[in-house]
Amino acid sequence: MILPGFYIDDIIKTAIREDINYTDTTTDLIISENAHGTARFVAKADGVLCGIEVALRVFNLLDDSFKSTVYKHDGDRLKKGDIIAELEGSTRALLKGERTALNLLQHMSGIATATDLCVQLIKGTKASVTDTRKTLPGLRPLQKYAVTVGGGRNHRFNLSDGAMLKDNHIDAAGGITNAVSAIRKQLGHMVKLEVETRNLDEVREAIHAGADVIMLDNMDCQTMREAVRLTDGRALLEASGGITHDTLRKVAEIGVDIISIGALTHSVKALDISMKIK
Amino acid sequence: MILPGFYIDDIIKTAIREDINYTDTTTDLIISENAHGTARFVAKADGVLCGIEVALRVFNLLDDSFKSTVYKHDGDRLKKGDIIAELEGSTRALLKGERTALNLLQHMSGIATATDLCVQLIKGTKASVTDTRKTLPGLRPLQKYAVTVGGGRNHRFNLSDGAMLKDNHIDAAGGITNAVSAIRKQLGHMVKLEVETRNLDEVREAIHAGADVIMLDNMDCQTMREAVRLTDGRALLEASGGITHDTLRKVAEIGVDIISIGALTHSVKALDISMKIK
Amino acid sequence: MILPGFYIDDIIKTAIREDINYTDTTTDLIISENAHGTARFVAKADGVLCGIEVALRVFNLLDDSFKSTVYKHDGDRLKKGDIIAELEGSTRALLKGERTALNLLQHMSGIATATDLCVQLIKGTKASVTDTRKTLPGLRPLQKYAVTVGGGRNHRFNLSDGAMLKDNHIDAAGGITNAVSAIRKQLGHMVKLEVETRNLDEVREAIHAGADVIMLDNMDCQTMREAVRLTDGRALLEASGGITHDTLRKVAEIGVDIISIGALTHSVKALDISMKIK
Amino acid sequence: MILPGFYIDDIIKTAIREDINYTDTTTDLIISENAHGTARFVAKADGVLCGIEVALRVFNLLDDSFKSTVYKHDGDRLKKGDIIAELEGSTRALLKGERTALNLLQHMSGIATATDLCVQLIKGTKASVTDTRKTLPGLRPLQKYAVTVGGGRNHRFNLSDGAMLKDNHIDAAGGITNAVSAIRKQLGHMVKLEVETRNLDEVREAIHAGADVIMLDNMDCQTMREAVRLTDGRALLEASGGITHDTLRKVAEIGVDIISIGALTHSVKALDISMKIK
Amino acid sequence: MILPGFYIDDIIKTAIREDINYTDTTTDLIISENAHGTARFVAKADGVLCGIEVALRVFNLLDDSFKSTVYKHDGDRLKKGDIIAELEGSTRALLKGERTALNLLQHMSGIATATDLCVQLIKGTKASVTDTRKTLPGLRPLQKYAVTVGGGRNHRFNLSDGAMLKDNHIDAAGGITNAVSAIRKQLGHMVKLEVETRNLDEVREAIHAGADVIMLDNMDCQTMREAVRLTDGRALLEASGGITHDTLRKVAEIGVDIISIGALTHSVKALDISMKIK
Amino acid sequence: MILPGFYIDDIIKTAIREDINYTDTTTDLIISENAHGTARFVAKADGVLCGIEVALRVFNLLDDSFKSTVYKHDGDRLKKGDIIAELEGSTRALLKGERTALNLLQHMSGIATATDLCVQLIKGTKASVTDTRKTLPGLRPLQKYAVTVGGGRNHRFNLSDGAMLKDNHIDAAGGITNAVSAIRKQLGHMVKLEVETRNLDEVREAIHAGADVIMLDNMDCQTMREAVRLTDGRALLEASGGITHDTLRKVAEIGVDIISIGALTHSVKALDISMKIK
């Protein structure tokens, strides 16, 4: 996995601190310290798997002698009933880690599955699906990773690594042209500049000002079509706002480069996956 | 708010570290350090508000001279178009904090709104809606708080503060009776004991063993009705598993005490709230 | 051990940061990096062992190639002179970890020993000895664990996981009956409710209000006896306040269920254990 | 107070995280958010006060609008019944902070009181009482501070800031003379060097080797008297091991400079102080 | 200042923990708790100021009642003897914070001064001076900020927010063209792509492959001149490697866009600034 | 290495968080997860090596299956072209860790090299070179360690572990004699006391007051020579301030014991070391 190992470990420790706190009183009083068991992660719904290494890592942080066999990897499509992985080790640790592992696995797979659905809908067009900064505190790397596993691409990671001129910036600078020229003077040469636009006049001004990317904010299809024509490849175009599964393909066919969807990370439906312990 | 202040601050700092990292390059290069502005949080959909103090706190952590007027409080019902709060202060800080504030506010209000919907559906019955341990890492206190704001109640917070005998525990101890008697000997006297059951025989055994709470796991309505009759108030009954908006009231009318719903926290739909900066 | 491994590691790292800071200047300048040695933990007084895994973990965090043989386990009774464990590894690490290991081991064993003394005193009665929330910052899980190793049981772990109505709560609500009824409406169904009482009238009211547990606060034996009679099993009774080794058995024989003793964790006498390095 | 403010805050936050975790369920459900109250810290036993600023800080971290009047300061002698301080503010915060404030105040005052007792016993001699490295994880600065408040002095704070040659070091170097000469070559010029000795031959060797401080480890009074004569002011002498209240003055009168007592910090008896909330 | 406030606070707390640890034993034993004093930051050499807000913040974290007057701001040129700021408050805190404040101020001003020197050398050319990723652990934001204060621009902040194909990447992908095309498919649309080149053939290939930025790695002036001609504005050109004060202007006049200099942050000479306390 | 392992790990994690943040987008998109490679650390300049274990640890934290062969150890002299170490493992991890490893290795070796240069200059005299408290936040242990690797000695580590009376302390106490006598009463017996002096009268007073160490602050050689004569071994003498490579030997030959040099840690020139990956 591409996420740094200790970032993953920190997330897991945070989760376990919340979920166990002091002791798993039921398990510690009932299950013998030496009891050994096996467990299986099984898909209870169709979707795209994401987070299996994270889920297995939960158990290794509780007890470093776990062994596991992985049948499905991040990015694999799951059918209801598929066995994802099996693991073997301390029964106590299996019971203590179950909820944390599932919470992470279901959330990440939920994002990958939702992203994949969007990606399939626009297949064959030149558009890409991206996430936004509408993520949950502490989980942004996990969530952005899950979007890529689902076939999406990442928008800027944070406010340092991409510049985006919104209406407040533009008003403060006295228009798009002024704003772009002001920021270009000092902006790092590795940082791309996107300009938010609400109508074709703004699109035109953004093109001439030399924006790298132009966001078409809540525009109707007709206007976006005209924007694509006007731009003619001189900047990337990002459609944003109010795009649903019903309109997604239509928007993609207009010829925009990027369709960004906040719901991929702000309104996640967990994918149903279970863990059966024996 | 009942959550400890520094827990809130830590969540916000984590979010800002992810979202700003080094600098908001657009804002810092375009907006003057002394610029002053106002902002409004406005509901873009109907729902129940949760997290307004958290959202406002974001700005105070960025700049401690903010002033705000709050029109709606946690637990208030929102109509689309309602002004929730206004705040005034550094424009830079308004722009830097906007995303973090909205991410938190929309997530928390999403949970409160979904909980409220369930609570309204069972109004007049004796049942309560509760959350589960299916929460997101680092956010459990925020999420559980939002459930109470929406009118729900909290299930156990973690594995230390409530005992629940699941099938693995019961099998290891040789049945419900043995498991309950084994755990009672050492369990703290302030910890309640819940037993998971899958059929009426197990319900009977759990009652006789002296469980405080009995979970009716994925039972049909007919079986739950019989469980209510059998139990006759000697234990609290919790219905769990596969309950949807369509079946929720029917289950509540059977006479169970608790209906626990994982989706309240594992599959949250953000409530649409915007922040308009001037 | 039932405490999460990384909680233990964090405590140990905190201790080592305090105790070593930058370098063990004596050891690093005198002892060769490759020197190898053995050490023995030996009891210098009678008592109950607690924390041997924690003590050994200190050395593994300093150097992961240590080997150890454990002769006594948590909960075992120690006689002065007993060899508890032997370990073998880097002499530098033995010298650097000695103080931290002993500080933890002596403190935890001190708690287990003091608890065991109380438990032995009330043997044969139905009463249990419990701890309180009178613990030292950062050490609560270690301390509560040591109480269970000494044969005691744990009172509530924190203010979230048990409700206790004290006089301030009762006065604010207008009496025990009102307070209990007010809190029951919203309290999680897994949280037990204890009511603090100072006289028999309050005990009566607490019983009728439906308290799960009633604390008999600083009552004399005669009053407690009457409380036991009045309650007749309808609630658990906890004796608390001013109970000494001299009065402990007498209180237990009255028939209360719980005797809570703050001194178990707030006034700990370290058990004398030494570590001999060769 | 001399301890850095954020060290104090970190200790308090750790304590509150343990003690409240998510919410003080009793208080948050019963006491109104706007309720205001007053509280008094009162001595329930004679002793030396330590930690009143720390205790008051607890409440300011929970709610920054507290007001307090302090009648007794760190180092003041307390008589049973003395009012130490009064504070006024949110009743919820008073109830939530009470246990944490008392746990810290009673522990620190317990240490100051025990130290003061020792200091009084040796009044008029040239000896000083010092602590050791036998402290509790995370609490060393608090504990060492309390020793100074009780009139004691601090031994080395950690293994970096003082060198002490123990038997293992001496054996590894081939005797005291070799060990001292080896370490002097590299030891920082601001670091003092102490040598542990078990008999008069070792004392003699340590003097000649040029030790700054010589520890007389578990020696009887006769031997220590001879050591004082032999040393004749050429090094500081520290008596250590097995010194009780009964023997303390006798040891001090021998003429040693330092008497170090581990029990000051490893076996603390909390001083009884209460907090009355109205 | 544009750096997030709590990042600054964390750096300062880390520094103070290292520098004070437990107590400033000299100051706490000699200076009265109530003593009040004033201090002045004075330039002892010519340079560019950076970090004055950070330096003053040190004292506010030690004691929140400090007052200060700032005469010079970040980015101002200093002449030896200039008074930068005056502050007034607790003498103890002045003495405790002095070293930490100066360490930060001198380091940041050292970077700004060195950057400014480079910027002045290339004045009038189109080239910009940038930093690199050759920074010190924990200090990257401070260091990169100081570069901008000195008039430089920032290269990519980290490995997430800019893509750079080095020889290992290019070899693995089978050449520049393959590497660029492979990465473009998945790279976020806000991330710029730079290609490292060592000769004109590679420059040509990078241009045709569509690199946003081309690094001319350790090329001589003649080759760089040819690269500028070949590129003809189709990509930004970055000169890197072995550029000294002597060659800097010559390189800039060739027409490259960016000159990156690792020494700005990896080999910092502190600017001499003193703090005089009265 | 003498630095605690988890201190090193924390520094490295901090560095990697800054340098990678979310993902090394170039490497993760181009280099296969299973690719294996080797790398060599090679000296590009003459100097003294420091930090090779730290540098290698970077890779083990990214992937625990690395293997390495170390040819040069901390303290070894390097000639340009020397191979320092080779390592073999995941190509992705080699590329991700390269910058962090080099940043640490070059900084530490830069300090050791600069220290060694000073040490060589005064060879044969009785003087030692020491560092100061002029270090960078978070890096003090690394920097002080590097000074010892270069043959220098450490001055006090922090304000707790050495007392130094500066002019402000002396003025507040009413002169050197008063200050020394005031502080001696309470100062821990393991803490050495240094007095800063600016002229021979102060030196005389410091000797008579019983200072352990006397700092000769910015004195000319003639004055220092007289100070050495006056002191005649009754205290250690530390020359400090304005000493350059040109004057260093001359100062050492005067007969002072300690020459402290702030630039060793506040103005570090990185030693040029490269890492070649294949």
Task: Give C111→chain A minimum CA distance, Å.
Answer: 17
Burial class of residue B79 (count of CB atoms within 10 Å of its CB; 0-12, 13-18, 19+): exposed
Compute the radius of gyration of chain A from its Cα atoms. Answer: 23
Alpha helices in chain F (DSSP H): 5-20, 25-30, 52-62, 91-121, 140-149, 167-173, 176-184, 200-209, 221-231, 245-254, 263-266
**Whether F142 and F28 share a structural domain:** no
Pairing of strands E67-70, E193-197: unpaired
Cβ <8 Å between C148 and B194: no
- CB-based contact E157 B22, cutoff 8 Å: yes
Question: Any CB–CB contact under 8 A between F242 and chain C?
Answer: no
**At D121, is the pLDDT very low, low, confident or very high (cuts 50, 70, 90)?**
very high
State how far the alpha carbon of C9 is from the alpha carbons of A14, A30, A56, C6, C57, in Å. Answer: 14, 25, 21, 5, 8
What is the rounded radius of gyration, in angstroms, for the C-alpha atoms of chain D? 23
pLDDT digits (tens, 9 = 90+) for F25-70: 999 999 999 999 999 999 999 999 999 999 999 999 999 899 999 9
- Give yes or no: residues F34 and F104 share one domain: yes
Is the pLDDT assigned to residue F242 strictly greater than 90? Answer: no
Kindly state whether residues F262 and F273 are assigned to the same domain. Answer: no
Portion of chain C with pLDDT greater than 90, in percent? 97
Spatial distance between the Cα atoms of C54 and C47, rounded to a whole number of angstroms: 18
F30 touches chain E (CB under 8 A): yes
User: Of B140, C206, C163, B129, nearest to D28 (Cα)?
Assistant: C163
pLDDT at A2: 87
Which sequence positions of E are flagged as catalytic?
99, 134, 166, 196, 217
Q: Is pLDDT at B276 greater than 90 in this prediction?
A: yes
Task: Report how far Cα C253 is from the mean position of its chain's Cα atoms.
Answer: 23
**Residues C253, C124 within the same domain:** yes
Q: Which residue intervals of C185-262 are DSSP H helices?
A: 200-209, 221-231, 245-254
Choose among B139, B157, B187: nearest Cβ to A137: B139
Check B80, B123, B166, B229 and give the catalytic one.
Answer: B166
Say yes or no: F260 and F168 in one domain: yes
Calculate helix-pair angle for F5-20, F52-62, nearest 10 degrees: 60
Could you tell me the two tokens for B8? Answer: 């809130």
- The phi, psi pair for F133, rounded to 5°, reads -90, 10
Whether E211 and E253 share a structural domain: yes
Query: Counting every residue, how long is chain A?
Result: 278
Find all residues with CB under 8 Å of F76, minimum gap 6, and list them: F48, F49
User: The CATH number of the domain where B150 resides is what?
Assistant: 3.20.20.70
Q: What is the mean pLDDT of residues D214-240?
A: 97
The CA distance from A95 to the nearest CA of chain B, in Å, is: 8
- Is D239 found in the same domain as D138? yes
Contact call for B140 and D22, based on CB within 8 A: yes
Based on the fold, state whether residues A103 and A193 are members of the same structural domain: no
Q: Does residue F144 sit in helix, strand or coil? A: helix
Q: What is the pLDDT of residues E113-124, one digit of tens each?
A: 999 999 999 999
Q: Which of residues 78-107 of E touch A (CB under 8 A)?
A: none
Query: Region F66-84: what's the mean pLDDT?
Result: 98
Q: How many CB atoms lie within 10 A of CB E1?
A: 18
What was the pLDDT predicted at D59?
A: 97
Average pLDDT over residues C248-269: 98
A141 interaction partners in chain F (CB closer than 8 Å): 21-23
Strands D77-78 and E67-70: unpaired
User: What stretches of B21-90 show up as alpha helix (H) in DSSP?
Assistant: 25-30, 52-62
For residue C214, pLDDT beyond 80? yes
Count of the separate structural domains present in chain D: 2
Q: Is C155 on the interface with B (CB under 8 A)?
A: yes
**pLDDT value, residue D38:** 97
What is the per-residue DSSP string for C78-104?
Answer: E-TT-EEEEEEEEHHHHHHHHHHHHHH
Residue E242 has pLDDT above 90, yes or no: no
Per-residue pLDDT at C200 exceeds 90: yes
Q: Are residues D140 and D95 in the same domain?
A: no
Burial F129-147 (b: 16+ CB within 10 A, else e): bbbbbbbbbbbbbbbbbbb
Residue C1 has pLDDT above 80, yes or no: no
Mean per-residue pLDDT for E2-14?
94
Q: For the residues A87-111, what does the mean pLDDT come to?
A: 98
Question: What crossing angle do the helices spanning C91-121 and C245-254 adopt, rounded to 10°?
Answer: 50
What band does D1 get if pLDDT is binned at 50, 70 and 90?
confident
- Chain A: partners with 3+ C-beta pairs within 8 Å: B, C, E, F
In this predicted structure, the answer to whether residue B1 has a pLDDT above a threshold of 80 is no
Give the CATH number of the domain where residue A11 resides: 3.90.1170.20
- pLDDT tens digits, A102-123: 999 999 999 999 999 999 999 9
List the single residue in F24, F31, F270 with the smallest CB-CB distance to E159. Answer: F24
What is the rounded average pLDDT for all residues in chain C? 97
Does the pLDDT at position C124 exceed 80? yes
**What residues contact residue A98 under an 8 Å CB cut-off, 6+ apart?**
A39, A275, A277
Contacts of B186 in chain C (CB under 8 A): 148, 153
In this prediction, what percent of chain A has a pLDDT beyond 90?
Answer: 97
User: The tokens of A174 are what?
Assistant: 């006295």
What are the DSSP calls for C30-51, one per residue?
HS-TT-EEEEEEEESS-EE---
Mean pLDDT value across residues C211-226: 97
Instruction: Find chain F residues with C-beta within 8 A of E172's C-beta.
Output: 30-32, 35, 91
The mean pLDDT of chain F is: 97
The reply to whether A74 and A207 lie within a common domain is no
> Are residues D66 and D89 in contact, defined by beta-carbon separation less than 8 angstroms?
yes
Query: B55 in the Ramachandran plot: left (φ > 0), alpha (ψ -120 to 50) or beta?
Result: alpha
DSSP string, E87-136: EEEEHHHHHHHHHHHHHHHHHHHHHHHHHHHHHHHTTTSS-EEE--S---
Chain B residues lying within 8 Å of A37, measured CB to CB? 168
Q: According to the model, what pLDDT value does residue E52 have?
A: 98
| Chain B CA closest to residue D25 | B2
Write down the pLDDT at residue E102: 98
- The dihedral over CA atoms of A52, A53, A56, A59, expressed in degrees to the nearest 10, equals -140
Average pLDDT over residues E21-39: 95
Residue D187 contacts F, CB cutoff 8 Å:
yes
Do B128 and B262 have their domain in common? yes
Q: pLDDT (tens digit, 9 = 90+) per residue, A7-40?
A: 999 999 999 999 999 999 999 999 999 999 999 9
Question: Using 50, 70 and 90 to split pLDDT, how confident is the model at C188?
Answer: very high
Closest chain B residue to E160 measured between Cα atoms? Answer: B21
> Regarding beta strands C36-43 and C83-90, do their DSSP bridges make them parallel or antiparallel, or are they unpaired?
antiparallel
Mean pLDDT score of chain D? 97
Provide the percentage of residues in chain C whose pLDDT is more than 70. Answer: 100
C96 as an active site residue: the answer is: no
Q: Is the pLDDT of residue B98 over 90?
A: yes
Give the tokens for residue A140: 């942004």
User: Is pLDDT above 90 for C87?
Assistant: yes
Task: Kindly indicate the confidence band of residue B266, based on its pLDDT and cuts at 50, 70 and 90.
Answer: very high
Q: Which residue of A has its CA nearest to E259?
A: A189
Q: How would you list the strands of the sheet with E213-217, edge to edge?
A: E128-130, E258-260, E236-240, E213-217, E193-197, E163-165
Whether the per-residue pLDDT at A1 is higher than 90: the answer is no
User: Is E177 near chain F, with CB under 8 Å?
Assistant: no
What SS3 state is found at C157? coil
How would residue C93 be classed by pLDDT, with cut points 50, 70 and 90? very high
Question: Percent of chain E at pLDDT above 90?
Answer: 97
Q: What are phi and psi of E69, to 5 degrees?
A: -120, 130
Tell me if residue B11 falls in helix, strand or coil: helix
Confidence band for D2, pLDDT divided at 50, 70 and 90: confident
**Which pLDDT belongs to residue A68?**
97
pLDDT of residue D61: 95
Q: Which domain holds residue F137?
A: 120-266
Same-domain check for residues C11 and C147: no
A133 touches chain B (CB under 8 A): yes
Decide if pLDDT at A148 tops 90.
Answer: yes
E14, E30, E106: residue with CB nearest F169: E30
Provide the angle, in degrees to the nearest 10, between the axes of the packed helices E200-209 and E221-231.
20
pLDDT of residue E2: 87
Using CB atoms, pick whichever of B22, B24, B62 lies closest to residue E144.
B22
Q: Which of D155, D188, D190 sits opposite F188 (nearest CB)?
A: D155
* Residues in chain C within 8 Å Cβ distance of D11: 137-138
Reported in sequence order, the residue ranges of chain B that DSSP labels E, i.e. its strands, are 36-43, 47-48, 67-70, 77-78, 83-90, 128-130, 163-165, 193-197, 213-217, 236-240, 258-260, 273-277
Q: What is the reported pLDDT for F1? A: 75
Q: Which of C13, C44, C77, C99 is catalytic?
A: C99
Local structure of E40: helix, strand or coil: strand
